[in-house]
Amino acid sequence: MFRDIPLERPVTPLLDTIDSPTQLRELDEAQLPQLARELREFLLYTVGQTGGHFGAGLGVVELTIALHYVYDTPEDRLVWDVGHQCYPHKILTGRRERMNSMRKPNGLAGFPKREESPYDTFGVGHSSTSISAALGMAIAARQQGIDRHNVAIIGDGAMTAGMAFEAITHATHTGANMLVVLNDNQMSISKNTGGLNTYFSKIWASKTYNQIRSGGKSVLSKLPRPATSIAARLEEYMKGMVSPATLFEELGFNYIGPIDGHDLDMLVPTLRNLRELPGPQMLHIMTQKGKGFEPAEQDPVGFHAISKIEPKVEAKAPPKPASPKYQDVFGQWLCDQATASPELVAITPAMCEGSGMVAFSEQFPERFYDVAIAEQHAVTLAAGMACDGLKPVVAIYSTFLQRGYDQLIHDVALQNLDVTFGIDRAGLVGEDGPTHAGAFDLSYLRCIPNMVVMAPSDENETRQLLHTGYLYPGPAAVRYPRGTGPGVTIEAELTPVEIGKGVVRREGRDVAILCFGTLLGAALEAAESLDATVVDMRFVKPLDGPLIDDMARRHSLLVTVEENAIAGGAGSAVAEYLNRQDICLPLLQLGLPDDFIDHGKHKQMLSAVGLDAEGIAASIRRRQTKLGQAPLLSSLPG
């Protein structure tokens, strides 16, 4: 049991001999426990060097070894769900000495990535995709006459999503040869809602079950002694009706388990046996998130991921207080709004901690709904609540709202229901990379009728625009980024902003920069060198048309800036507005390019795509040079 994360590379003589699973399979089975110990210690060291997902990987060390030991990877396909379980897999598949590049520019990705290794059979960042993908691979192998094993490893809460069960039912229908390993650690990122173990325990402890149980015993106790054994068998039968074995076997899977997922002596022979069985197989294992590192075992939520461990240095001056994270600004607003609004209810799809909702869940437990990894359900649940008098607030990451997009359109916006969306992790998210980037929300939100879409520029605007969206009697979304803001004063009083109104932050000449969101600081800095006007637009939908008209009259070039895809984003909205108004004026749209941007530090990523102050100024100068500084004032109205 480790208590500290090592700062020096541990001695791992056996692990150092493993550069591929082929070498792993040459080991004697008796050597595998030693390999597990070394792998766990090496994992602790490398994540301490780079930061990253932590607890889930520690929990699958033995499973990862057993899978690569039994199956002929990469010819046999391993598909990892919830990709942050994949660090031990990467270490064993030839990437051990590159682990210190994890999540850095040009380094290893924090999730499985097909371009990175043939052992990464399916790219993943969102949960609950593994069974569908592995089934697709199994069908492909069968159709091509290839004898290949296909394994989906699902866990860390991913079985709570409906997509997993859709895949299970289809796998049964096809009869495909595949194995699903259910890694049941009773956790997702937050405490697992609806986890299998908790679910069955609740049933067996339920009032209904126990009334039947005690009533049956009361009746049977008055009968002759043989009836007592009938009562015992009846109880076991009732339990069997709701056991995992019954559930999955009724769905058409051959179910084995649960077994200890840290016991290699049990895992290896079990996997060998299952490898030879035809049709859909389910292996249910029990593991401990954070296994082997005591702090992570005690606090699996807090150690889901960690930052890079820096050597301790003597502080020369007291550090200045850190600005609150945007998620905490949201969490504080939520509590304050709920105090004033008894009809407010809050919904999250398994992201209580990440969305800053812990305080709300403790202060208003009867108004807090964690629906597990079920984004579609979260959105339609909010719609149902809004139909009958509640005012739901859905806290959701931008990248996860993509999974509930049909529900957002069909169930909320089409019916013009009063639902507020707090959209976290908007824009680039740094080391988590493209799977978690909120690069598209302005594009996919602004095309939906009835939506109000807001992009605040700082912490106080975030608070006040959340209040504005909550008071708006229809669907409203406020998008804000990961991390901290510029550190502005946050006003305690909640003051609504006029819908669709921006504000001029700097007066200049020739160039007007229309900024949507938290790139305002970079825009202001760029404007200083250009003597440009800067507008904090705040609203993507509805746009402040009169303000755009005024900027167009007084400037020869309009520039839009957003941390969102240029395609279909806020700049496109401005272009469409100018077109509708017959305003012929040069427009430069700055935002994220038509590409998936690799992981790295957030500031480095912004610089790489030209969205820091220097990049914004350079892009404007290039456009001015091409235009020859010639304003087209004659074509402007008025």
368 and 346 Cβ atoms separated by less than 8 Å: yes
459 and 488 Cβ atoms separated by less than 8 Å: yes
**What is the rounded radius of gyration, in angstroms, for the C-alpha atoms of the chain?**
28
589 and 566 Cβ atoms separated by less than 8 Å: yes
> Is 308 designated active site?
no
Q: How far, in Å, CA of 632 to CA of 451, rounded?
A: 34
Amino acid making up residue 147:
D
> Is 375 designated active site?
yes
| Angle, CA 560 vertex, CA 557 and CA 565 arms, to 5° | 140
Q: Which residue has the tokens 């209580």?
A: 352
**Pairing state of beta strands 587-592 and 503-506?**
unpaired
> Is 289 designated active site?
yes
Q: In angstroms, how far is CA 162 from the centroid of its own chain?
A: 16
Alpha helices (runs of H) in 299-374, residue ranges in sequence order:
326-340, 358-363
- In three-state form (DSSP H/G/I as H, E/B as E, the rest C), the secondary structure along 311-329 is CCCCCCCCCCCCCCEHHHH
- Catalytic residue of the set 77, 289, 367, 541: 289
**Pairing state of beta strands 420-424 and 476-479?**
parallel
Q: Encoding tokens for residue 63?
A: 């499973």
The upper half-sphere exposure of residue 121, i.e. CA atoms within 13 Å in the direction of its Cβ, equals 25
- Catalytic residue of the set 103, 291, 403, 446: 403
- Catalytic residue of the set 375, 431, 461, 563: 375
Closest CA to 378 of 328, 420, 428, 327: 420
Kindly state the DSSP code that residue 44 receives in the 8-state scheme: H
Residue 262 burial by Cβ neighbours in a 10 Å radius (0-12, 13-18, 19+): buried
26 and 99 Cβ atoms separated by less than 8 Å: no
H-run or E-run covering 215: helix 207-220
Q: In angstroms, how far is CA 10 from the centroid of its own chain?
A: 32
Closest CA to 534 of 553, 571, 507: 507
Catalytic sites, residue numbers: 289, 375, 403
